[in-house]
Amino acid sequence: MMEDRLSELRELAKAVERAAEAIAVMRKRAKRHYVKGDVPKRQRPIMRVDVGSVQLEITDKQAAALLVVKGGGGVEILNTVARVTGLNSKLALGLASQLAEMGLVELVAAPQRKILVLTPLGWKVAEAVERELEKKA
């Protein structure tokens, strides 16, 4: 009976060790797939927006993302932004990070998805982008 218990404990210890190794591998992969908020060279600003004392240069993808979030009432899931802007989820996360660094959105990580929430500055910039696009149309 004691030998059975010892055998179970050894198997449990091996399982815990394998789980710890799997977690370490997943953490390494997650770090490798994180996209910084730098604008890729192929993205050039299409407009300059002045909101109060803040002047921002906005790319076409950033403008589209802001308008999608604004159209969703100021809250939108990252997958919707990715679909509308034509980006994969990794690039959409990079775009969301850019907007967060600019102070235009807050990126909220829920258990199953990531959510973009417009900040007050983000609302103003989204409205300014709409006005600029209407002028160009």
Cα of first residue to Cα of last residue in the chain, in angstroms, is 82
CA separation for the pair 114, 125 (Å, rounded): 22
DSSP state letters, 35-65? --SPPPTT--EEEEEEETTEEEEEEHHHHHH
The radius of gyration of the chain from alpha carbons, rounded to an integer in Å, stands at 22
The pLDDT tens digits of the residues spanning 44-78 come to: 777 888 888 888 888 888 999 999 999 889 999 99
**pLDDT at site 21:** 72
- Asked whether the beta carbons of 121 and 106 are under 8 A apart, the reply is no
For 91, the enclosing helix (H) or strand (E) is: helix 89-101
**pLDDT at site 30:** 59
The pLDDT tens digits of the residues spanning 83-113 come to: 888 888 888 999 999 999 999 999 998 778 8
pLDDT at 27 over 70: no
pLDDT at 41 over 60: no
- The separation between CA 35 and the C-alpha centre of its own chain, rounded to angstroms, equals 9
pLDDT at 120 over 60: yes
pLDDT at 33 over 60: no
Which residue bears the tokens 């004392």?
53
Residues in the chain: 137
Mean pLDDT throughout 22-28?
A: 69
